[in-house]
Structure 1
Amino acid sequence: MGRRRSPDRAVAAEERFRLLRVQRFSSDTEKALWHGRSRNTRVAKVLVYMAAIRMPDRPGLPLTANPNVTCKGAEQQFFSASGENQAAHLLPGQILIDNTYPWLFLQGEPARLLQNEFAYVDPIHANYNAADRLAERNGMVDAFASACRAVLTGTGEPERDVSNAYHRAWVPGALAAIAAAENELRTEPLPPPLVYGTGPEDYGMILNLEERSQAMNDEEIWDSFEQLSMLDYYRAAFDETPREIEPRSVIAALNALVN
């Protein structure tokens, strides 16, 4: 795969400094939750852009009555990571509307901002990106495309259609993808579960600590274990709903895009 291009050099420089130069003092748990919540926020923002694309009399390419919405691998990113880190995209993939980039259905600043959404990345350990890819190939990209199409073809108030697409298409589809990814990982070698003593002399003690530690020293087993843990945190990220899909937020965002 060739080097992915950055659509906006100014934003790329800002993102590189914010995420690569500014040291984060957070645990892996917080990072995984942040990554999952950031993905949900970016999805919500794109759904608002879908509502803008379906608006009548907007500048840009015309939208067909029954658009075909697909999601493929990412093509652009603001920067790359180094060392053990990888630049993990926040969105599950690149949305296409009738095989056309979605920002071409808009013009000016809204088009630029929508294109940028698909380039945002998070510089995190490679296992986060591996967990992302597992979920994506197990249905997360399809959930993203389905949610976008639901907004584009919706006939209700845009704020209602955005909320419905998020809650009825994106959330259940993404959660199903995470569960399927976990099932796939569980077919790989994993550390044995902790065994605790139950007798009067060993009650509460870990009885297989040495066996578990030896398994953890195997790099492949550790990677699978860590990716499984990250998927669980990605699921937990859905406990928090992005404010971007609140009705007032959707209306305000649309007004800013079309006025």
Structure 2
Amino acid sequence: MTMLLTATGLGTTRTSAQTLPQTAFSQVQGIILDSASSQPVPLVSMSLLNKKKTVLVRGTGNEAGVVALGQVPPDTYIVTVAGAGYQAQTVGPIRVKSAGLSIQLDTIRLRSSHVAQARPQAVLGRVKGTVIDSASGRPLPLMSMSLVNKRRTAVRRESGSDQGFFLFDQVPADTYTLTITGLGYETKVIQGVQVSATDRSIQLDAIRLRSTGQSLKQPQAISSRPVRYARPMRTSAQTLVSKQP
């Protein structure tokens, strides 16, 4: 912290040491800038409070961000600077060794209060891969995929392309379970698919699915031969006459 021994004009201040003679005071001056743009922050308030909290000096900056506090008794102080729309900044301790000094503070930079409230940008990634037949190695088209996180609060569903390729885009950072299903093939479950800030693009190895054989079953053929049925027995009408003895 730089100390200047040059005389400067005094700002409007209040102090509890009003009974001291004018020659018993020093002044403290600083310039306040925006931490992002480095532009002056106008009309900020600055206060000096000693360690025993028995001396308090306050002042208001001008349009150029300059604050000058006069009538500062010799002591050790903590400096607090605040401005509308900015986070309060505390610096120090600074020591006013004697009266009659002009102390120039290092430049104080204030951060906008909106920066503290802003949420960090969400990490978004992608998960991609190819699904193939485990026996032939050919791509499996139009398979169904779902991506579910552990808490089941994020569920994404996609369909594979004609060439067996699939892509989940704009996936929030998390750990997922990938499930792949398709007609005539066993369901495949892949756990621990992790999207993170350091690994946003996940390229999975070729995923092999085994056929269940359902698509190979053929309907039973109907015979074209005529069906032969047993001929009905011929019956003849006979008259039964009971003979009396």
Q: Please indicate the TM-score interval, normalised by the length of the shorter structure.
A: under 0.3
Rg larger in 1 or in 2? Answer: 2
| TM-score, normalised with respect to structure 2 | 0.19
- Larger strand percent: 2
- Larger helix percent: 1
